[in-house]
Structure formats: structure tokens, C-alpha cells
Amino acid sequence: MLESSADGQRLGLETSQGATPSGVQDHPRFFAGFLTSPQIASAGLLAVADVAAARYYQQQLRASLDPVVTGNGDRLRFESFSGCCGVYARLDVLEPGLDGGEVGHGTTNVDVNNPLREALSRIGSDDPLHLRVGPEELAVTTLDGPVVEKKVPLPDRWLRGFAEAQVIAAGFDLRAELPAAEAVRFLRSLPRGGGRGASGGARWVVPSGRGLRPSTRPVPGAVCLPGPERLAALQRVLRHATALRVYGPAVTAGAAATASAWEAVLPGMRLTLTLSPDASRGFSGEGGVLDALATDEAGEDAELIAVLLAWEPRVDVADLAASSGLAPERVRAALVRLGTSGRVGYDTAEAAYFHRELPYDAERVERHNPRLRSARALVAAGAVTLGGSVGTVTAEDGHVHRVRDEAGVLSCSCVWWAKYRGGRGPCKHALAVRMVRRGDVPAERDMAGIEESA
């Protein structure tokens, strides 16, 4: 809907109930104030909107246009996924980037359509930019006329993407930091889009001096660049960037393609793009959260940890462990569980989780994970038997799959594991065996032993 106003431009967003540190409020206000670098902030917001509007795979299909906005007490976060769910973008507007207003707590989402994009693109270096989020609108005031965009529902796939992206990013470390000149040189050397499969697959880069050099294969210290054209949104802020930071997991020679994160450091802000391991597959199918969803213990722990989150911009695992009385590994599992309902994200720059709230529940996520549903069905049907380090799973069609446990790492004789070798999370048979080993539901052999000893 559009509204007219005599005092400038307003983007209005109706917000429903929201969780805050003081409890649930009908219309929580997150922020009202100016942005200290309006032109840079506008470029960053447009970059997040670019990702939300893009599909880097199967480009002819329509994408969502619905970035998520979170107030974290000392910063504002703007997040989005590409339509193919293979790129996660986040603009963190930090305390130095905000002026004249106290940042509150809450999460909402706003549809960024052409009128707002045009207004943001016209902001000059000396133009003011005022932002107000809540209580019943998210208002952007510039020197132009008013615009009001309606809130629209988030797609389910984004919820799964939020969950998987934070699990993957938690395994990243800083691998390289390029100064501004090297960052410009490197990013401008990358391919610029094109048709499906234009990137020719994953590439690898290795830190070298103050820059990055390409590598034909993964080597220790290398970072995967899967689908380099998917970094195109960074071009929006390139001239404002003071550095480029690159994050990724530890790799060894011969490693498979991995996800990576690319962060443009801006005055008072950070713009981060996290890329899925392959341009043809999104974060929503990575399977990294399945282990946490498959244990009842993590679900119970998550209820306790949720009470202690308190909208912290930096969620410290050690502090939560001390406050809850849980071991750090159980806290991490609980955070993964909370991430499946969109309540937790991960900030690679600070190597810390952060709190957000989305209008979803973990049960809804479980319903959208077919491997998890299948594993629960196998356990319920008594299809799992245990024998030492080997678990046997008898499928409905009579096929027998053997799951081996080697130092806590499960492998399976099924086609799924042969194809992905654990690269996309556990198969349904490994999940079922893990559930039984944890004692969530006893296997048939275990039940027989209990009955004989009774």
C-alpha cells in the first residue's frame, strides 16, 4: 500500500506480536534514528535486496523479495536468501553506523519492491537517511516522496536455509583479509553471472601475501569459491569497502567443495555473503541440523536455552553453559535446535551466535525434513538392530543396510551415503541408528533383551 506524507518518505510495515526481553509485545519498536553513512547503508540494503530478488540457479523462476530485519539491542541486522536459497546475505549495521536512536529488540520482515529500491538508489553522499522500525511501520525518510510496502509471509525454504546456514558457518574460521585495493582487484576479476552453470563449478583460492591466488585444487589453507558469480551483490558496496574478509572451514588435499563466507567491511557496517557448496543446491537441503533434530535431549535443552537468550547480539556458549548447567556441547546442540525455528543465527565476524525470532516452530521444520521423518518411521517400525559398532536397518522393501560407527562418525551401505559420503548430512538409516543408540526409542533386539531379563 502507498501512503502520502508531507514530511518525507515512509516505508510502512504492519508488525504482529513480537518477543522482547521484557516479554511479548503487540507492536515492538526496534529503532528510530539516522544512519551515519546513508549512501553506504543504502548500497548495503540494496545488496541484501539484490540477493533476495536473485536466482543464481534456474534463473527464470521467480524469487522472494522479503528481507528479515532484527533489532539486537546494539545493532540492526538485515538478512535475505536468494531465490535458489544458495546465497545468504546479511547487512549488520553496527552501533557506529546508527545515530540518534536506541536500538530495541525484535524481528520482522519487509517486502522491498521497486519504489523503495529507487528511493534508496537516489540517496547521495550528503543526503540524510532516517529509519524507524515499528511499532506499526518500518519508515524510511529521505528527501523524496513516501513509499509504503506490505509485509508478506516468509517462504518455508528460508527457514530451513537459516537453520542450515548457521550450522555450517559455525565451522568457519577467518582465512584471509584483503585490504581495499586488493579486494577491488580480486572481486572485479570474477565472472559476472551468465546462464545456468556459467561458473563451471567450484573454484579454490589460497591466501598469498595481501591477496588471493587461484588454485586448481583444494590444499591446506585454501578457501572454496563455489559459483564465483554469486558474489555479484558485493559490487554494490565495493567502492566503500575498507577490507574483504574470507571465511571457510579447514580443508585438506582432495576435499570436496565447501561453503564459504565473504565479508565486505564498511564504515559502521558489515555485508556478508555466504555461499552454499554448489550453485545448484541451496542451504535448505544440506542436512546439517538433522542430528540435533533427531535427539529428544537437544529439544529439552533448547527450551532451557531459549529462556536465557535475552536477545543478546553475541550469544556466548560458555556463558550459557554456566547459566544453564549444561555442558558446552549440549548448549551448541540446543542452539542448532533453536536455529531450526529461526531463533538463532551465527555471525562469522564475531564467531558468535545471535538471537532473532521468526514466526515458525521447530515441529514445522521437522515436517519438512523427509530424512528425519523416514528415520523416525524406521525406528518406530523396529527396523533397527544393534550389534557392536554396526547397526542393521531393514527397509520396508526388505533391503538391509549396515551402518558402521567409526569414532563417532557413521557410514552406511546405502546409495545416499555412497553418493554424498556424509557431505549433505546423515542418511535416514544412520539417523535411525543414532536415535536408537541414544536411547530415544529402543530397537527390537534391545527390547527382547529387556523382556528376557525381566
Give the pLDDT of the chain (454 residues) as one tens digit per residue.
323 333 333 333 333 344 455 555 554 567 888 999 999 999 999 999 999 888 887 665 555 567 888 888 889 999 999 988 899 999 999 999 998 778 888 787 777 778 888 888 899 888 888 887 764 566 788 887 656 555 666 777 777 788 888 888 989 999 999 999 999 999 999 887 654 444 556 789 999 999 999 998 899 999 999 999 999 999 999 999 999 999 999 998 888 899 999 999 999 999 999 999 988 878 865 555 666 666 667 778 888 888 888 777 889 899 999 999 999 988 988 888 787 777 889 999 999 999 887 755 555 555 667 788 888 889 989 999 998 889 999 988 888 999 998 877 788 999 888 887 776 778 889 889 988 887 765 444 443 433 333 3
The pLDDT of residue 153 is: 65
- Inter-residue long-range contacts of 257-260, CB under 8 Å, 24+ positions, other chains counted: 257/201, 257/202, 257/224, 257/226, 258/224, 258/226, 259/168, 259/169, 259/172, 259/224, 259/226, 259/283, 260/172, 260/223, 260/224, 260/225, 260/226
The pLDDT of residue 414 is: 92
Whether the link from the prior residue into 135 is cis, omega within 30° of 0, is: yes
Beta partners for residue 425, in sequence order: 423
Q: Is 164 in a helix, a strand, or coil?
A: helix
Amino acid at 22: S
158-283 placed in CATH 1.10.1220: no
DSSP sequence for 191-203: ----STTTT-SEE
Q: Which of 259, 269, 353, 260 is nearest to 313 (CA)?
A: 353
On whether the CB atoms of residues 223 and 173 are closer than 8 A, the answer is no
The pLDDT of residue 335 is: 87
The pLDDT of residue 367 is: 62
Q: Which of 105, 133, 142 is nearest to 8 (CA)?
A: 142
CATH number, domain 18-155, options 3.10.150.10, 3.30.470.20, 3.40.50.970, 3.90.1150.10: 3.10.150.10
Q: Which of 400, 397, 401, 390 is nearest to 427 (CA)?
A: 401
290-365 placed in CATH 1.20.120.420: no
The pLDDT of residue 445 is: 42
CATH 3.10.150.10 placement within the chain: 18-155
| Number of CB atoms found within 10 A of residue 343's CB | 25
The pLDDT of residue 13 is: 32
d(CA 89, CA 46): 11
d(CA 62, CA 55): 8
| Number of CB atoms found within 10 A of residue 25's CB | 17
Q: pTM here?
A: 0.78
In eight-state DSSP terms, residue 278 is B
d(CA 283, CA 124): 36
